[in-house]
Amino acid sequence: MATMDSSHALLGLLGTGSGYGYDLKHDYDRHFGAEKPLAFGQVYATLARLMKHGFIALLGDEAGGGPDRKRYEITATGRAELEDWLFSADTPSPALQSNLFAKTIIALLLEDDAARLLDIQRAEHLERMRELTRRKLGADLATVLVCDHALFHIEADLRWIELTSARLGELRAEVAR
């Protein structure tokens, strides 16, 4: 599964109105960072990169109790970039091989227990499904939808695991040639 593009997410958050890096980090984490919040360093490095490309502009600094707070806004170029990103389709995973596929083939080449490998992976997938299902209980709609997205991908992986498990003998013979 592709990782989320934090640069465009931050650009999109600035599209709702100007903001400070600190607030953008918290908004990002609230909407997208449930499993992996952004580090402050990553936020400021991304903002610097967005400024370098002309996608955002610095409105000014405000002195406070700590370091100066910088306020950013999206530029017209940034809005065009954001629109291009929003309305370009994400390509489904272009990779025909996954790590699990490679492990399965290697296990067969080594004449090791590929069925055990697939059983271990199945158990891990099922545990993750239980975790995501628990997370959905009483959650807001955004959380339910992001969990559903992950669950559907896990279900596809589980179907692949079942299909591959059923065909291990045939695959073993093919790999041995």
Say what the pLDDT of residue 1 is: 37
User: pTM (2 decimals)?
Assistant: 0.69
Q: Is the pLDDT of residue 136 over 50?
A: yes
Q: How far apart are CA 127 and CA 1, in angstroms?
A: 18
Question: pLDDT of 107-119, one tens digit each?
Answer: 888 888 999 999 9
Say what the pLDDT of residue 30 is: 84
Q: How far apart are CA 140 and CA 95, in angstroms?
A: 33
Residue 58 is inside which H or E element, if any?
strand 56-62
Is 62 within 8 Å of 68 (Cβ atoms)? yes
Long-range contacts of 38-46 (CB under 8 A, 24+ apart): 38/6, 42/6, 43/10, 46/6, 46/7, 46/10
